[in-house]
């Protein structure tokens, strides 16, 4: 069982930046992947970004490539999502996610997620 606590959401204008944090605690998986999904009103929860703790491999949704960057802090057991050049279409509740994975591509499927954060609201005004 992994507990995820995320923070960093807020209200910003288009073109601005935000940094999300997600701290993991409890019993982590042997092969751990962490990242974020997001869900906008009326839409399905979609994959955003993930990183593998074992080798640092990352995966990004096409919609955020070049704008979002995921990083990790081993000492704090925390991952960070730097979001730059935010667009109104980035508006959503962002959910930190953790799973036991062997390849980073597995993080793209929400059915593989074993632990979810509580969600943090990101709102980008135009």
Tens-digit pLDDT profile for residues 71-96: 999 888 899 999 999 999 999 999 99
pLDDT of 88: 98
> What mean pLDDT do residues 19-25 have?
96
- The Cα 85–Cα 71 span in angstroms is 17
For the chain, the average pLDDT equals 95
CB distance 1 to 27 below 8 Å: yes
- Residue 28 above 80 pLDDT? no
List of residues 6+ apart from 66 with CB closer than 8 A: none
CB atoms within 10 A of CB 109: 11
- The Cα 83–Cα 43 span in angstroms is 21
Quick one: what percent of the chain has pLDDT higher than 70?
Answer: 100
């Amino acid at each position: 069982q992994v507990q995820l606590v995320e923070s960093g959401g807020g209200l910003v204008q288009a073109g601005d930046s935000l940094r999300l944090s997600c701290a993991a605690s409890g019993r982590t998986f042997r092969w751990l992947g962490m990242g974020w999904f997001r869900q906008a009103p009326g839409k399905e929860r979609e994959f955003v970004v993930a990183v593998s703790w074992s080798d640092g491999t990352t995966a990004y949704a096409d919609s955020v490539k070049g704008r979002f960057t995921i990083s990790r802090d081993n000492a704090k057991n925390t991952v960070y999502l730097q979001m730059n050049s935010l667009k109104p279409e980035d508006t959503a509740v962002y959910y930190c996610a953790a799973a036991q994975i062997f390849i980073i591509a597995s993080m793209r499927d929400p059915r593989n997620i074993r632990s979810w954060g509580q969600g943090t609201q990101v709102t980008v005004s135009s």
